[in-house]
C-alpha cells in the first residue's frame, strides 16, 4: 500500500524560535526542543471551497473602497506560484494576506503607530491558487512602519501571508518583502533566519515584464510548501 508522508522539515532554513533580538519572542518562544513524531492526520487538511471566495477578495484596491474611490499609494500586483518541494504546483491553496496601508498603518485597534488610516483600504485579501498553482493580488505598496523593539525600530515594507496547501502539516505563515528595501537587512525578524538563501527567498522580485503590460508595478513571490511523498509501506499483520 502507498502511504503519504511529509518531507522532514529543514530547521537550518527556518527562523530561530528563541531569538531575543526580536523582543516579543523572549517570553513566548518555547525553550524545549520540538518532539519529532510521524505525520498522520496532518497529511490531510481542510480544502477551501471556491464559492466562499468573493470576486474582489484578491483586489485590495477595490474590496474596501467607498464609492469606487482608490486607496492612497501606488498600485502593485503581487503574484507567483505555490508549489511543493518536488515542484508540483498546488491548486486550490488558500492564501490570505494582510498589510499596512501606504502610510504604514494597519486597520487594527492595537496599531499604535500615529499614522493615518485610509478609509478605502482594509489591507485584507485572499485567493485560491489556480490549477497551475498561480495566484495574484492587486493591492497598494505598503509603507514601512515603526514598532517598539529595542527602542523604536522600523519594519521593512512587507505583506503577511498565510497559506494552506493540501495538508495541515504544510501550513505556512510568512511575510513577503520588497526587492531593494534597505530595511530588510537590519530587521531582527528577517535576521532570525540564519541562512542567506532562505532569507532572500522571502524577497518579492520586481517583475518588469508584468509591470509593463499592466502599467502597474509587479512583484513576483513564489511559495514552496513542504513536499508530500508517497512511500510503499508493507501491510504488517497483527501480532507480527
- What 113-116 contacts at long range (C-beta under 8 Å, 24+ apart), as own/partner pairs, is 113/145, 113/146, 113/147, 115/143, 115/145
* Least distance in angstroms from the C-beta of 212 to another protein: 27
In the complex, minimum distance from the CB of residue 82 to another protein, in angstroms, rounded to a whole number: 9
Cell of 74: 501606488
- Of 135, 158, 219, 226, catalytic: 158
How many angstroms separate the CA atoms of 16 and 38, rounded? Answer: 22
Q: Are 77 and 138 in contact (CB under 8 A)?
A: yes
* Catalytic pick among 155, 177, 219, 226: 155
Using the minimum distance from each CB to another protein, give the nearer residue, 13 or 214: 13
Least spacing, CB of residue 71 vs another protein, in Å: 14
- Candidate list 22, 145, 177, 219, residue with the active-site label: 145
Using CB atoms within 10 Å of the CB of residue 230, give its burial: 0 to 12 exposed, 13 to 18 middle, 19+ buried.
Answer: exposed
Is residue 145 annotated as a catalytic residue, yes or no? yes
Active site residue 160: yes
Q: Return the number of the residue (45 or 211) whose C-beta is nearest another protein.
A: 45
Query: Burial level of 28, CB count in 10 A (0-12/13-18/19+)?
Result: exposed
Catalytic (active site) residue 79? no
Give the Cβ contact number of residue 13 at 10 Å: 13
174 or 211: whose CB is closer to another protein? Answer: 174
Marked catalytic residue, from 106, 135, 177, 219? 106
Give which of 101, 104, 138, 141 is closest to 123, Cα–Cα: 101
Say whether 155 is catalytic.
Answer: yes
Backbone angles phi, psi at 188, to 5 degrees: -65, -30
Pick between residue 75 and residue 160 the one whose CB is nearest to another protein: 160
147 as an active site residue: the answer is no
In the complex with another protein, the residue whose CB is nearer, 27 or 74, is 27
Alpha carbon 181 to its chain's center:
18
Active-site residue list: 106, 145, 155, 158, 160
Amino acid at each position: 500500500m502507498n502511504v503519504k508522508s511529509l518531507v522532514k522539515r529543514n530547521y537550518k532554513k527556518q527562523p530561530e524560535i528563541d531569538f531575543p533580538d526580536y523582543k516579543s519572542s523572549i517570553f513566548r518562544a518555547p525553550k524545549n526542543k520540538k518532539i519529532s513524531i510521524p505525520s498522520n492526520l496532518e497529511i490531510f487538511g481542510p480544502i477551501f471551497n471556491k464559492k466562499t471566495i468573493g470576486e474582489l477578495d484578491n483586489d485590495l484596491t477595490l474590496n474596501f473602497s467607498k464609492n469606487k474611490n482608490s486607496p492612497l499609494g501606488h498600485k502593485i500586483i503581487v503574484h507567483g506560484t505555490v508549489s511543493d518541494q518536488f515542484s508540483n504546483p498546488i491548486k486550490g491553496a488558500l492564501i490570505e494576506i494582510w498589510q499596512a496601508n501606504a502610510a504604514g498603518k494597519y486597520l487594527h485597534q492595537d496599531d499604535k503607530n500615529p499614522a493615518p488610516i485610509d478609509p478605502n483600504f482594509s489591507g485584507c485579501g485572499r485567493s485560491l491558487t489556480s490549477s497551475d498553482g498561480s495566484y495574484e493580488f492587486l493591492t497598494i505598496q505598503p509603507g514601512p512602519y515603526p514598532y517598539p523593539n529595542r527602542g523604536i525600530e522600523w519594519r521593512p515594507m512587507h505583506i503577511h501571508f498565510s497559506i494552506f496547501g493540501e495538508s495541515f502539516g504544510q501550513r505556512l505563515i510568512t511575510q513577503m518583502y520588497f526587492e531593494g528595501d534597505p530595511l530588510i537587512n537590519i530587521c531582527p525578524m528577517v535576521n532570525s533566519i540564519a541562512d542567506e538563501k532562505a532569507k532572500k527567498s522571502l524577497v518579492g522580485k520586481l517583475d518588469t515584464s508584468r509591470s509593463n503590460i499592466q502599467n502597474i508595478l509587479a512583484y513576483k513571490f513564489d511559495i514552496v510548501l513542504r513536499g508530500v511523498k508517497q512511500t510503499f509501506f508493507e501491510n504488517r499483520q497483527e501480532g507480527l
